[in-house]
Amino acid sequence: MNKRLNVSTFIGCEAEYDEADIVLFSVPFDGTTSFRPGTRFAGQAIRPDSYGLETYSPYLQKDLEDTAIYDGGDLDMPFGNPEKALEVVSHYSKEVLQDGKKFLMIGGEHLVSLPTIEAAYEKYPNLHVIHLDAHTDLRDEYIGEKLSHATVIRRCHDFLGDGRIFQFGIRSGTKHEFDWAKEHTYLEPFSLTTLKEKIAELKDVPVYITIDFDVLDPSVFPGTGTPEPGGISYKELLEAIQQFQELNQVVAADVVEFSPPYDTTGASTAAACKTVREMLLTLVD
């Protein structure tokens, strides 16, 4: 008889923290979401359904069981106070990096990528960011707020500067955001066609990958806060992930904006689980 307190981790992620090379954690925060909230529940939804998957990826021909991965669960978040929430994430992700581990964060809304990208930048000043999303996220402020899911990449640009951000699949924004991107980021609208050539350029620099699930078409991933039709298919996302294997220094990554209350069929949960598996395997050296 197993007498351990009930543990609930992502499939194949039962290593203890100290022995782990990779850390998985989730951030139940959706405090600046402007349309449909609920991303706070992403971590809770993903873990149990991950057992509908195998630990083996026939795409990458790697197995989660061949690596030591620790799953720390949901971080404890304050409610109604974005600044404090971001501090918690900042503290946690910096500690993981200081301990010489990589991490994959499950959002939460996209704003939670700000402290993790900043933490990675602190450790790797030459950090570059690959950003898959439907939205530019380049506003300078949103309804008067500097910190918002709609400003997160702009806030990252504040410290990263020009030439460091590579955006793909973007299909929504103001005219001003698209114009601003022309001078400050690399932005491919609508698709991922140029991802391969950009990856070749980024082959040997430290890279952080941030995937907003709404880069997928809402037919594939309806369970998100701001569904935007005309996105990529799941096969296209899988091809992108296969291309990521060419990168030699993926230092951390995140997947954000999965909102379980809008996933009435479970198909978004399944897509989220599979993406977590593939991205964990991407972090394996």
Residues linked to residue 252 through DSSP beta bridges, in sequence order = 103, 208
Distance CA 178, CA 137 (A): 10
Given candidates 60, 68, 73, 123, which one binds its own copies under the rule CB under 8 A?
A: 73
Q: Residue 69: enclosing H or E segment and its boundaries?
A: strand 69-74
Using the structure block, give the residue that is written with the tokens 């897509």.
271
Region binding its own copies by CB under 8 A among candidate stretches 155-163, 198-206, 243-251, 270-278: 270-278
Q: Can residue 19 be called a binding residue for its own copies (CB under 8 A)? A: no
Restricting to residues 209-248, which ones interact with its own copies according to CB under 8 A?
217-220, 222-223, 226-231, 233-235, 238
What DSSP designation does 229 have?
S
Residue 115 in contact with its own copies, rule: CB under 8 A: no
Q: What are phi and psi of 230, to 5 degrees?
A: 95, 20
Maximum separation of any 2 CA atoms in the chain, in Å: 63
Q: Which of residues 177-196 bind its own copies (CB under 8 A)?
A: 178, 189-190
Contact 115, 242 (CB under 8 A): no
Q: Which is nearer to its own copies, 210 or 275 (CB)?
A: 275
| CB closer to its own copies, 72 vs 198 | 72
Q: Which of 87, 126, 163, 174 binds its own copies (CB under 8 A)?
A: 174
DSSP code string of 150-187: TTHHHHHHHHH-TT-EEEEEE-B--HHHHHHHHHHSEE
Instruction: Tell me whether residue 206 or residue 218 sits nearer to its own copies (CB atom).
Output: 218
Comparing CA positions, the residue from 97, 96, 153 lying closest to residue 125 is: 97
Nearest distance in Å: CB 135, its own copies: 9
> In which residue are the tokens 């990208």 written?
117
Binding mask 22-41 for its own copies (x = CB under 8 A): --------xxxxxxxxx-x-
60, 90, 198, 266: residue in contact with its own copies (rule CB under 8 A): 266
Tell which one of 21, 60, 63, 188 touches its own copies (CB under 8 A): 63
* 203 part of the interface to its own copies, by CB under 8 A: no
Piece of 5-13, 100-108, 199-207, 248-256 that binds its own copies (CB under 8 A): 5-13
- Rule CB under 8 A: is residue 56 a binding residue for its own copies? yes
Which are the contacts of 95, defined by CB distance < 8 A and separation ≥ 6? none
- Residues contacting 270, CB < 8 A, separation 6+: 49, 52, 53
Q: In angstroms, give the least distance from the CB of 121 to its own copies.
A: 20
Please give the C-alpha separations between residue 45 and each of 2, 38, 73, 154, in angstroms, as whole numbers.
Answer: 24, 11, 12, 29
Tell me how far, at minimum, the Cβ of 107 lies from its own copies, in Å. 15
Specify the stretch interacting with its own copies by CB under 8 A; choose among 54-62, 112-120, 123-131, 161-169. Answer: 54-62
Name which of residues 117 to 146 contact its own copies (CB under 8 A). 142-145
Q: How far apart are the first and last CA of the chain?
A: 36
Nearer to its own copies, 191 or 249 (CB): 191
